[in-house]
Amino acid sequence: MKRYVIFLMLLCLGVELYAQKMKPPSVNPNIRKARLGYNNIEEALPEAATLKNLIIMNKRLKVIPETISEFKELESIDLSGNQLTELPAGFKELKKLRVVILNRNAFTEFPKVLTELENIEVLDLSNNKIASISKEIENLKNLRNLKLSMNKLSDIPPEIGKLANLTDLILDDNEFETFPINITKLNSVTTLGLSNNKLKELSPEIGKMTNIRKLNLKNNKITSIPKEISKIKSLEFLELENNLLTTLPNEFGQLSELKQLSLGENEILKLPESIGLLTKLQNLDFSDNRAENIPAEIGKLTNLVQLELKNCIIKSFPKTFSQLVNLKSLNLSNCGLTEFPKEITDMKMLITLDISRNKLKSIPSTIEKMVSLQTLKMDNNEIESLPKEITKLPALRTIFLNFNKLKTLPEDIEKMPELKVLQMRKNEFSDEEKEAIKNRLPNVRLSL
C-alpha cells in the first residue's frame, strides 16, 4: 500500500511538471490588447507612443477625441461598427497610417481629413451613408484598395483618375444609374465592383480599363454589353447575372483569359458561337435564360468544370456536349427535359448531376459509364424504374428520387459500395416494398 501511495505522488508530481513545461509563454498584455481591441481612445492612450495597430470595433463610439493625434506610430486603425459621423482634425497627424477601416459607421460625407494622409494604401468606408467623394481624394497617391460599397454614391469625381496605384475599387450597393466614366482613367485597376446598383448600360469606355481581372456587374438593369469589353484581355472573372441582357456581342469570344462567367437570370436568347473560343473557361452559369439551344461550339470548352443551365427550356443538346470531358458539376434542373441526354453519360469526370424537376420517365443504361458520379439529383420527375446498370456506379453516394413513380428498386442495389443516402419520398412503393427496402439497405440513410 505504501509503495502504491508513493507511486501516485510521483505520478502527480510528474503531471504538474509537464503542465508547467507545456504552459504557453506569457504574452505582453499590451500586445494582446492591441490585437483584441480597446474600448475607447483613452484606454489605448498609455501606449500611444509605440502602438502601430489600433482596433476599436463595435463600441458605439460617436466621437474620436483630438488625442488621437498622439498615436503617431500608427500604421493601421480599425474603427468599424461604431456611430462615427466625422473624424477630428488631429487625425491628420497620423502620417504613418497605411490601413484605415471605417466601415459600418454613419458618415454622410467623405472624411476630408483622410486626404492629408498620403501614405494610406487601404481605405474601407463601406456601409455608411456617403453621397459624394471629395475631389481631394487625388492626394491619396499610394491608395491601392478603396472600398465604398453600401453607400449612396451616384457619381465619382474626375480626380479619382489620378490614383495611379489603385488596383481594387469596390462600388457595389450604391445609387449609380449611369456608368461612372471617370473611373476608366484608372488603368491599374484589376478588381472592379459595381454590383447592386441601377446601371442601365455599360459604357464602351470600359474597354480602356485593360488590366481588369475581376469585374462584378450583377444585379443591375444592363440591357446590352458593348463590343469594346473584348479589349479587356486580362479579364478572368465576369459576373453579369440578374440584368436585362438579351444578346452578347460576338466579340465576347475574344476574352481569352476568362475563367469564370456568370450570365444567370437574364433574357439571353442565344449564346454566341464565339463562346467556343473561351477555352480557359472553368465555370459557366447560364441558368434562368431563354435560350432553347446550346451551340455546338460549347464542346470546345474542355476546361469547363462547372456548368449551370437550370431553368432554361432546352430542346436539344449538340453531340459535342459529350466533349466536356473535365466537367465535374452539371445542373439541368427544370429544363423541360423529357429524355435523359445521352451525351451526359460520356462525362466520366462528372461528380454531381442535378436533373431534377423535369419530365423524365427513364434513365438510360449507359449511365454506368459515369464512373465518378457521387451525387445524383432526380427529384420531381416521372421516373417509373431505374436501370440495373445504376448499381454499377462505384462512387455513387447520394441519390435523390423524391416525387417520382417508382414501385421497386433494381436488384443488387444493396451491393453499391459507397451508397450512403437514398431519398425516395412520394413515390408509389407499397408498404411491403418499403419494409423490404429497409431490410435490404440497413446501412443507408433512407427517406421513404
Instruction: Tell me what the mean pLDDT of segment 377-395 comes to.
Output: 97
3-state secondary structure of 300: helix
Position 8 scores a pLDDT of 37
- Domain regions of the chain by residue span: 30-175, 328-448
Instruction: Tell me what the mean pLDDT of segment 264-277 comes to.
Output: 95
Is 30-175's fold the same as 328-448's? yes
Position 316 scores a pLDDT of 84
Pick the closest to residue 245 from 264, 267, 271 (CA basis): 267
Q: Is the pLDDT of residue 31 over 50?
A: no
Q: Report the percentage of the chain scoring pLDDT > 90.
A: 90
| Position 35 confidence tier, pLDDT thresholds 50, 70, 90 | low
30-175 topology per CATH: 3.80.10
Pick the closest to residue 123 from 107, 102, 104 (CA basis): 102
Position 29 scores a pLDDT of 47
- Which DSSP symbol is given to 173? S
Cβ atoms of 96 and 75 closer than 8 Å:
yes
Position 37 scores a pLDDT of 87
Element housing 169 (H / E): strand 168-170
Specify the range with the lowest mean pLDDT, choosing from 5-9, 157-161, 261-265, 383-387: 5-9
Residues forming a β-bridge with 169? 146, 192
Q: Is the pLDDT of residue 83 over 80?
A: yes
> Rounded to 5 degrees, what are φ and ψ at 53?
-130, 120
Q: What is the pTM of this model?
A: 0.88
Instruction: Tell me what the mean pLDDT of segment 426-430 comes to.
Output: 97
Place of cell 468544370: 305
Q: Is the pLDDT of residue 166 over 70?
A: yes
CATH number, domain 328-448, options 3.60.40.10, 3.40.50.150, 3.10.129.10, 3.80.10.10: 3.80.10.10
* Alpha helical stretches, state H, 217-376: none
Query: What integer best gives the mean pLDDT of the chain?
Result: 92
Specify the range with the lowest mean pLDDT, choosing from 14-23, 87-96, 218-227, 231-240: 14-23
- The predicted-structure confidence for 315-324, as pLDDT tens digits, reads as follows 889 999 999 9
Query: What residues contact 16, with CB distance under 8 A and at least 6 apart?
Result: none
